Structure 1
């Protein structure tokens, strides 16, 4: 055969082989795309239409029957022009298949600039030689934890599938663990786009935190750069679970965050640090509010808190003065009085009747009604008397009087003790925030820059709701009545509460924490009224639309399910407080003032009786003296008149 003919045959054979190989690749790629769509339950798929040269082409894939198979499965497909703006609005929730070439690079760059990388599921077909270029390109994209970009590295009718992402802007490109596909077995996973477990490891990503040093039971800053406390322990657990490092910045004061004056949505404090992307998360608690949620993102709530009204119990001096008459009803006092007088009368009656019937017998010293009443009164007061009835009947009456006195005394003492132990404090003139807003004699306040202040002055500034109307009224008419009503700490707020006529509006769990630090007698004077205000969750703050949220939420949910969250709550936020009565109950002047008043009244009455007795004795003595002085004169007059001659008698 001529050499030219042999060369022609060789070229033709090579061409036939290339065509066969290309046809096989096209057929395999067609099955690959179909398996991805059906296995992941996509309703359809979009293809980027580009004319650039690449290892594969969409015409090749389409030409092997892919559109027909998708149509038979009830799935749709469409093509997208590479010049279409890859914005969130244009490509929201799209599933896009593309061959890696210059056009696809432009689309990825545009999608990254428009923040659409996480809202689109990308499937990039590339050869083995293009993988390094894809990874280098990924360094420039906003391709983070929540992105769904997968590179299908194809060769010889097999594909190795890698998810490509970065943990954050300060991290490098990471490849997910590989999944595989071949024509015989299909995909090795049905959860190609489920990244929650695959990307739990943040590979030592350097997180930047921000916190405040306000409540150490929420966040305690340790010397080694770590954090503790309720929120601090949660953050430390997340660090271990997700393998990231943490450095943090502490803000001064009560810097949780509020809108800067003169702006509409620029924030200070921790919220401002997150809003301006100077921090990735908070290491201190942050209350969840609608206004903050517009500029930052939260994890799921880690605890629910409320604002409550804390006041000091007021002593009711009038009740204390009447406390010793309260154990028994007034009708019972009258019954006791009648009973004791009746016994006294009966005792005297028995003694005198026996003396009348048996005049020769000795009847003892109970010989008058006054003595009998004195004895019965002494018995009632647990005292004795120097009388001694001799007859059995009189003794029985006497003993029954003492027996009744013992029962009355014991019952009175027991009831008095229980009454004093459970004595209710004076009734407050208000029971909720609305009634407080109507008071003129009471002040109220909160911690400076507290959420109550932010809500009353900013959130509710122009709100027509009833709750905001009450908050505004309390703020303007009660809180702002005196400049000293706003305090710089919870301890200062509780001190003002104990001074009286002041209501502290504080977070329930936080206020109870500080109350437990007070001496027992003072702690039990502070009480919380029933109402709850500004109830909401506290959470860990994140940057707006942070990709870390779903990973942190998943870990927080596991903490709840395993009981670890409850253990942290019990350790740091045990809000219950109790008053140990044995340690704090002691009689004060107000408790025994009645005794001194009775003593003074008795002393005064004794003086009156003493004056009466002295006056009576002096009057009786003077009368007796005058009678004695007049007696000799009358006798002399009688003798003289006896010695005078009678009329007509001659001497």
Structure 2
């Protein structure tokens, strides 16, 4: 009886109302009855029509029976369960009326009337009607017949529905709920002396995304902030959802737009559009802190004590060689080879020459003077062996020192975290009633490595879990590379674009997407999917991400530094070897000073001798 009700008050209601009916108020039969009964079609109810048709069938069957025989009507006592002797005959005429039989009364009102052998009505036609969103009242959208119960004959084509849907969207103002979090939705600072209202109160990727979608669909939207600030998790005790999902289920919003991950549990509660952003879980870690190179960095492979011991050994062995050369007769030579019996012998191993021999050995350069005595050679060989070991040790340690100074990360992928215990790691957890897809992935995974990581995170004492991404990022920065944070790659990319002390380690360990959440069976879902696909093909999604990740709010500051680090890893700069140049300069200055002093001393001696 939906056609008998007044639907004027429901014209602005967005809900879809669908019903079935026997009576077609627009049929010629109903129009004829309206004239006979002098009533409006809205006053003809289904029960009235069925009773009218039943009476019409009965009196017609009785007339057909009376045309062939003269019925004798006897009074019956209902208490004694008496049956009319004409009942069976009337029933046969109802089920199978003569082909020439015509109904006494106009009709039927409820459609063609046929019965099977058991007296059940067959070939029933029902009209499927739905409330028209453009006009007051209902319209026929299809028909159903009992002969083909699995078939519905639609009266409205899919093309017509698409056009109607587009027209409805253009008149629609969508209520959009979101969650505060950079860069998806942020509070906008009002100009001095002014206040902001409506959508002007916020800015961010989510707001621009809805603006581009509504630009394509020619619709409008109104943003609001979710009261509890949560994404949406199911509470098994209360048997209800919180956050954005709960807001949708309570019909307080039409759409939820933010960094809301499409998960199995959420998909069972609400619908999602196709992903507008694809991402995965990765590791946020702190960059290695590169200390500025020291001036005497070349001396770092050996400690100060070793350098002092080497200098002392150099002086001591030089004096020992000088003393041994003086005592060994083989190091005393004839200064005049032509005189076989010289009065004096000469020893070339002065303190100066001994120091030159030991210095050339430790510098791996050798010397033009070599000892001749056995004892002198033994002392020199011992020094050469010492010099060999110290020189090779210095060279090896210098190479290791330069390699270690260039080493960056101590982990290369997320799986490396599971095989060590020095670096703590964690993610956002549902223990803080915020939850998210990251903790759900590790908690529910069947992959042994990731399950082991979850067990380690749970068993850590003190706890390593954080309640938000911001807290996790802060802890990574303050932990001196003793802590890593597992979070979604899009958030890692946003942080590393603004903080050059952070870096993403490895690739993504899973694949997921952000989608626009909406109530189940949302009738505009296809239109939103088409709009997102169109934005993807036009490059709008990429442009929006570039805007809010690398251009707005201090993004893109780490690119130049990243290229500088790559070049620095390929070669040494002056800061690394500056101390060597200083030593060279000091040696040259000392040599020039001694040369000047020697020259002045020689000039003085010549002047004294000539006078």
What TM-score does the superposition give when structure 2 sets the normalisation length? 0.49
What TM-score does the superposition give when structure 1 sets the normalisation length? 0.46
Structure number with higher relative contact order (C-alpha < 8 Å, ≥ 6 residues apart): 2
